[in-house]
Amino acid sequence: MTVPRILIAGCGDIGGRVARQLQGAGWEVTGARRTVSRLPEGVRGVCADFSQPGCPDGWPVVAPDYLVYAVAADQHDEDGYRRAYLDGLANVMGWLKQHGQTPRRLIFVSSSSVYGQTDGEWVDETSATQPAGYSGQVMLEAEALAASSQAPATVVRLTGIYGPGRERLINQARQGVYAAQQPPQYGNRIHADDAAGLIAHLLRADWAGTELAGCYLGVDDCPAALHEVLEWLCGQLGVAQTSHQAPLRRTGSKRCSNARARAIGWAPRYPSFREGYAELLQGMA
């Protein structure tokens, strides 16, 4: 039986979780990142700086069946985003071309920041993408670059990732921070394990011969207003919400649908923020 080979460019938090899930399914996994000592055990490492055009030493001689580009920007401004998502992706695509390698599929990990809706609208993969900020605009450019690859490309737009090490809302709830109820600021979330699980599910489905779409939204089943999440977290923590602190700055409001991902057999292990945060809080305790 042929063992599928995958190269994960940006094998950090989400990429590492994908690696561990696919290792468990018998896949051969190579992870590329700056610090290979932080790769999951058993993952072959390639020390790579994606912002530099030179192909790194140790690039796989045998062509990977799949490339997952899951790099995270280490500088949160437009220049940092362009280096991570545009320059980095272009470099990796160039390294593949340099070695005459064309994977069966490229999966580019994107973000729901490509959407600009602000009034609580439901959005899916066919909704208008008119981002107001640089992050969404750069992501759209990177998605277009991925689509220009010689390999078929699938974009996974992840939303509001939380989990171990991603505890911003918990920290805010500990301080009693509140959000205005009106107008509700709808947000979308996905546990880091579910985000990785969706990517792994798509890869396994493609390997099994399922035809993939060009884009999937990675989100749990229950978009929720920010005030609802903070109230629930404060209740779990036994913290009274303060009345003297200002509400959090409104940054947009939309509700993302995971219907397309569910239609190919994926389901989140944590269907709402309650299940995911409950386990996270228990682990922190």
Domain spans, the chain? 5-284
Rounded CA-CA distance 210/41 in Å is 30
The reported pTM is: 0.96
Q: Give the number of other Cβ atoms within 10 Å of residue 89's Cβ.
A: 24
Does residue 90 register a pLDDT over 80?
yes
Beta bridge partners of 158: 111, 218
Q: Who contacts 108 (Cβ-Cβ below 8 Å, separation ≥6)?
A: 69, 89, 142, 143, 146, 153, 154, 155, 156
Question: For 43-60, what is the mean pLDDT?
Answer: 96
168: left (phi over 0), alpha (psi -120 to 50) or beta: alpha
Does residue 243 register a pLDDT over 70?
no
251: left (phi over 0), alpha (psi -120 to 50) or beta: alpha
Does residue 246 register a pLDDT over 80?
no
Lowest mean pLDDT among 93-102, 166-175, 203-212: 166-175
Taking only the tens place, the pLDDT of each residue in 146-181 is 999 999 999 999 999 999 999 999 998 998 888 888
Question: For 39-43, what is the mean pLDDT?
Answer: 96
Question: For 178-201, what is the mean pLDDT?
Answer: 94
User: 197 vs 68, 71, 213, 239, CA distance in Å?
Assistant: 13, 17, 17, 33
Lowest mean pLDDT among 17-26, 177-186, 197-206, 224-233: 177-186
- The CATH T-level fold of domain 5-284 is Rossmann fold (3.40.50)
